[in-house]
Amino acid sequence: MSVRRLDPVQPASFAFSAENLAWARKAVANYPAGKQASAVIPLLWRAQEQNQGWVTRPAIEAVAKLLDMAYIRVLEVATFYTMFQLSPVGRKAHIQVCGTTPCMLRGAEELKRVCQRKIHHDPHHLSADGDFSWEEAECLGACVNAPMVQVGKDTYEDLSPASFEKLIDDIAAGKPVKPGPQIKRQLSAPEGGPTTLTEKSLYSSDRKFTRQEPQIIAPPKPVAEMKAAPITNPKAPKPIKLPEQKIQPARRLKPPTKKPKK
């Protein structure tokens, strides 16, 4: 993992908006007393969203104060997770291109070349108009629909260079874009529709399910009671009595006598 540092140019201050502050306090209330630090990731994410897509030092300080945490602890979280951007990003979109093996095999390198051509040659740099930026990211969790990119909370999958260029152009023009697969398939089903479990009744809300009552099993008897009770089996065969045999005592063998040498 590469070293991640805060941008050298920082704004003077940061404060949550009234709406986001109310949301943050509600998020903190979801955790038990003394465990409010558990809300650090959602609060940093909300600060990033409010601050045009990146986390600033004043934002980290504001989150630390709100959660009664040391500044260094919040900084550790912000610099560890790559979901937090530490430098200014594009106003309209910061594009994360998945470059892990499945996406690489399916054309991620071509998507990176699209970013170099349409945004900037190098990652983590703004486009000339400041609207876009990009970076290569590790696995983004949609391997079955590779190659794919992520913009904010949304993923765009099954991309080709042409469909990716169109996606960037539509975002630039302010047109609505549809997250998910960019080909004619639903989620990760085969293109053209599912090939198994195709009966419509499987997905009908009219299906009725019968509830089966749980079977109650009697608890085992205590060990003392089990020892006291005789073990009987009426179907067991009767034991066969064998004739008594008299055991002859073993004979003691005399050691061999050595003949004297002549």
Encode pLDDT of 37-53 as tens digits.
999 999 999 999 999 99
> Is cis: bond before 147, omega within 30 of 0?
yes
In this structure, the answer to whether residues 113 and 172 fall within a common structural domain is yes
Give mean pLDDT, residues 82-95.
94
Q: Which of 83, 53, 47, 85 is nearest to 66 (CA)?
A: 47
The count of other CB atoms within 10 Å of the CB of residue 145 is 22
The CATH number of the domain holding residue 65 is 1.10.10.1590
Q: Which of 128, 158, 181 is the last residue of a domain?
A: 181
- Residue 1: pLDDT above 60? no
Q: Which residues pair with 150 in a beta bridge?
A: 96, 155
Give mean pLDDT, residues 190-205.
79
In this structure, the answer to whether residues 131 and 162 fall within a common structural domain is yes
- Residue 56: pLDDT above 70? yes
Q: Which of 58, 80, 102 is the last residue of a domain?
A: 80
The number of domains in the chain is: 2
What is the reported pLDDT for 208? 65
Residue at 62 is within a domain:
yes
In terms of residue numbers, what domain contains 68? Answer: 18-80
In this structure, the answer to whether residues 41 and 108 fall within a common structural domain is no
Residue at 112 is within a domain:
yes
Q: What percent of the chain has pLDDT over 70?
A: 88
In this structure, the answer to whether residues 151 and 104 fall within a common structural domain is yes
- Residue 209: pLDDT above 90? no
- Give residue 3's pLDDT band: very low, low, confident or very high (50, 70, 90): confident
- Residue 214: pLDDT above 60? yes
CB 44 within 8 A of CB 55: yes
CB 14 within 8 A of CB 51: yes
In this structure, the answer to whether residues 100 and 131 fall within a common structural domain is yes
Please give the model's pTM, rounded to 2 decimal places.
0.68
Encode pLDDT of 162-188 as tens digits.
999 999 999 999 999 999 999 988 888
Residue at 259 is within a domain:
no
Q: What percent of the chain has pLDDT over 90?
A: 66
Residue at 148 is within a domain:
yes
In this structure, the answer to whether residues 105 and 138 fall within a common structural domain is yes
The count of other CB atoms within 10 Å of the CB of residue 5 is 9
Angle at 221 between CA 215 and CA 222, to 5 degrees: 140
What is the reported pLDDT for 251? 72
Q: Which of 31, 56, 80 is the last residue of a domain?
A: 80
In this structure, the answer to whether residues 97 and 54 fall within a common structural domain is no
Residue at 168 is within a domain:
yes
Evaluate the CA torsion angle 155, 159, 161, 166 in order and state its sign. Answer: negative
CB 41 within 8 A of CB 81: yes
The CATH number of the domain holding residue 102 is 3.40.30.10
- Residue 255: pLDDT above 90? no
Give mean pLDDT, residues 81-88.
93
For 94-157, the DSSP string reads EEEEE-SHHHHHTTHHHHHHHHHHHT-SSTT---TTSSEEEEEES--S-GGG-S-EEETTEEEE
- Residue 220: pLDDT above 80? no
What is the reported pLDDT for 12? 94
- Give residue 217's pLDDT band: very low, low, confident or very high (50, 70, 90): confident
